[in-house]
Each structure stands twice: as structure tokens, then as C-alpha cells.
A and B are shown apart, each in its own frame.
Chain A
């Protein structure tokens, strides 16, 4: 049991120590990586694609108006290796997304750091490798 835990710990350290493999454009040049925001909304569509996937969600702003957010995710292979498929998320799913906001606020864009679907507890987060 102890040995199993040790192996798990070593694996966890190994996974966490691997640098995130981001590409296409510099995420630091696109998003405010030292800030995170949380959005709660309904999924409009998931674009499972290269170079990066996107999820689009409608979120109510302070005045109650629906605002569409484009949220950048990993590429097809990166997500596939983590068990995400094009059918993982469906239009209408209520999701909570944590991410880094765009440098330009009016873009309503975000880089996905963590996504959760409260209805069944499904979640994805952190690693793009």
C-alpha cells in the first residue's frame, strides 16, 4: 500500500514537473497569465480542432445580457491524450470555466485552465501536455 502511494507520488511529481507544451502563439502574449476569472454559463459549441480547440459559452453579464465567450483549449492530440473527445461536451451543458482572461477585455476571450460540468462532476484541468 505504502509502495503504491510512493509510486503515485513519484508519478504525480513527474507529471507536474513537465513543462506545459503551448504553441501557435505565446499564451503570455495573448492572455493575462497572472490573472484568473471564473465563468458560469451554457455551452454553445465545442470546436475540437487544431491548432487549439475552443469552447464557446454564453454568460450573463452584470446587466443580465448574454455575452458569448470564446475559450481557448488544447489541440486535438493534447486533449485526446487526456480522454477528451469531440463528444465530451454538448450544447446546452452548464459549465464552470476558470481561465486566464484576454489582454483585451472586450475580446471576451479566455485561455482555459479548468472546466467543470457540475451536473455529473466531470472536470478537466491544468495540464496541456
Chain B
């Protein structure tokens, strides 16, 4: 009798739970997420070295274009207010603010919105099953993104982006890019793995990831802030387009000199993504005798000690 009663109560509870409309997907990924700089901190902080394409499967065309890049290019009046693409979320800095737009009648989530930064537009991840538009449709900086839950992972696919960059040192991305993002929440940690496919500039998918920690005090804005073009660099007043001619990039050996990394690693390519590449360069790579920059990552507090190896070298 008691068993029958327990089963009945359980049945009522299950029915009650099933009747409650879901106001979010499998996992709630909304909220304010702070960037702690705990991985790839140069990318997620002050920015990468100028000529360092290691770990990027770029092709020859991308390498030539990257080597022609100077940051002054982004000081041009017509380029100061350009945005990065949705892929910037995995190779840029800043925190994340994620919220939903909910259908007031059904309570279903129409889309997730990933907030804007000063150099990235809001990304809208449509969850209502709408198709991607025609390949000839408008390509905004934010692209067009749809999402689907795969278990507890939200997978978002972005297309229709403008040509921009895949790293903040001039590695280009084309308007044919497809970005797949796998968004996973583990407690108070949000992880996003981005897979960038670019038939114009990449020979293989380029995979990057980033993590954030939930922090309601982080004050991460939602909206894009107005950008005002000015004359940032008076040398550009006559319409000069800043660039380095082929073979003339003066910084090509900066990373090799500083870190003793072989040039073939710095020049990137699919090989440089894989662990086997270490074996390939083991005879040409000699670690620098002393670390002289960024030795302790983002930690600037002198009270916190660097990790040192057996020889006392900061790591």
C-alpha cells in the first residue's frame, strides 16, 4: 500500500515538473562572466606579439597578408570603428554578458545574446530553428548565428561575417569564415571552444578556447558603445595605407630573438598546431637563458611569486 502511495506521489511530482514551462535551455549560461586571463593571457589580455603566427594553420596567402600588417592600419579613419567577428570571443579580451530574448507567449528562448565590446558587436544566437540566409545575403560584423543544444553543450554556428582578423596581430580572416562555438558551463566557469573554418586563409580548422568566471560585480556592458573616428595618426592624413612590403617587415625576428623560437614556428602553419612539431624543432630550439618579459603572465602583484623551474628560471 505504502509502495503504491509513494509511486503515486512520485508520478504527481514528475507530472508537475513536466508541466512547468522551461525558461531556459539545458543549462543556464546567462549572466556576467569575468575574464581572469588564466589561459592564453596574451591573446586575452594586452595582445599577441606582432609577428607570431604559431599555432595557426594559416596558408601562404594569409602569411603574406599577415606580414604586410602594421597596427597603424587600424588607426586609419575608415578602419578605427571596424568590429571583429563572433570568433573574437575566443581570441579577444574582456568579460562576457549573456542574456536571452524570450517569447512572451510560450516562454521559449528565441535567442541568446552575447554582449558587445568596444570592438565587437552583439552576437545573437537564434535558437528557434530558422535557417541561415542565402550566401549572398548581407554580411554584418556580427554575422548570422544559430544554436542548438547538444546535451549540456550549446553549439553555435556563425556565418555571413565580414572579412576581419583571426588574431590581433594582423592574421586575416575572410568573409567565408564559419565559426563553430561549443559553449559549456561547469559550475561558475564558462568555457567556449571556437573552431574557425576559413577556406580562404586556413588549411585546417583553427581551434581556440577561452574561459570566464561568473562574477556579478564584473560590470560587463551589454551594448556596443559608439565609436567616433578621429585623426589618430597624422601621417595617415594624406590617405596613406600603412603596410610593410613583402620581405620588408622589420619585426619578423622579434619573437625569434626574444624567445629563441625558430622562425618556422613563428611563421605558423598547420604543423605548428600539433605536439609532433616539438620533435621537429628540438634541434633548433634553445630556450633563452633568461626570461625578460611577461615571465609571470598577467600577475603584476609583487607579493605573488613566480613559479620557477629547477634551475631557478621563471616560468
Chain A positions within 8 Å of B, measured between CB atoms, are 12-13, 16-30, 33-34, 47, 49-52, 54, 68, 70, 72, 75-77, 81, 103-104, 106-107, 109
Q: Are A26 and B118 in contact (CB under 8 A)?
A: no
Question: Cα distance A76–B225 when bound, in Å?
Answer: 8
- The one of B93, B221, B227, B228 in contact with A22, judged by C-beta atoms closer than 8 angstroms, is B93
Identify which of B198-206, B277-285, B296-304 touches chain A.
Answer: B296-304
Q: Which 6 A-B pairs have the closest CB atoms?
A: A26-B47, A19-B37, A19-B298, A30-B71, A19-B45, A26-B168
- The one of B37, B71, B118, B300 in contact with A51, judged by C-beta atoms closer than 8 angstroms, is B118
Q: A residues within 8 A CB of B300? A: 16-17
Let me know if B129 is at the binding interface, CB within 8 A. Answer: no
26 A-B contact pairs sorted by A residue (CB < 8 Å): A12-B301, A16-B301, A17-B301, A19-B35, A19-B36, A19-B298, A20-B45, A20-B93, A22-B46, A23-B117, A24-B119, A25-B74, A26-B46, A26-B50, A26-B168, A28-B48, A30-B72, A49-B228, A50-B227, A50-B228, A52-B118, A68-B234, A70-B232, A76-B225, A77-B118, A81-B219
Q: A residues within 8 A CB of B41? A: 19
**What is the number of residues of chain B that contact chain A, defined by CB distance less than 8 Å?**
47
Q: Are B170 and A24 in contact (CB under 8 A)?
A: no
Q: Are A77 and B225 in contact (CB under 8 A)?
A: yes
Question: Cα distance A25–B72 when bound, in Å?
Answer: 9
Task: For residue B258, give the distance in angstroms from its CB to the closest CB of chain A.
Answer: 9
Q: Are B119 and A23 in contact (CB under 8 A)?
A: yes
Task: For residue A35, give the distance in angstroms from its CB to the closest CB of chain B.
Answer: 11
Q: Are B225 and A29 in contact (CB under 8 A)?
A: no
Q: B residues within 8 A CB of A75? A: 118, 225
Q: Are B93 and A25 in contact (CB under 8 A)?
A: no
- The one of B44, B46, B71, B230 in contact with A49, judged by C-beta atoms closer than 8 angstroms, is B230
SS class, residues of chain B in contact with chain A: loop
Q: B residues within 8 A CB of A22? A: 45-47, 93
Which residue among B35, B93, B94, B170 has the maximum number of chain A CB atoms within 10 Å of its CB?
B93
Q: Are B230 and A27 in contact (CB under 8 A)?
A: no
Q: B residues within 8 A CB of A12? A: 301
Q: A residues within 8 A CB of B232? A: 54, 70, 72
Task: For residue B181, give the distance in angstroms from its CB to the closest CB of chain A.
Answer: 19
Question: Cα distance A67–B290 when bound, in Å?
Answer: 38
Closest chain B residue, CB of each to CB of A16 = B301
Let me know if B293 is at the binding interface, CB within 8 A. Answer: yes
Q: B residues within 8 A CB of A30? A: 71-72
Q: Are B74 and A24 in contact (CB under 8 A)?
A: yes
- The one of B35, B48, B299 in contact with A26, judged by C-beta atoms closer than 8 angstroms, is B48
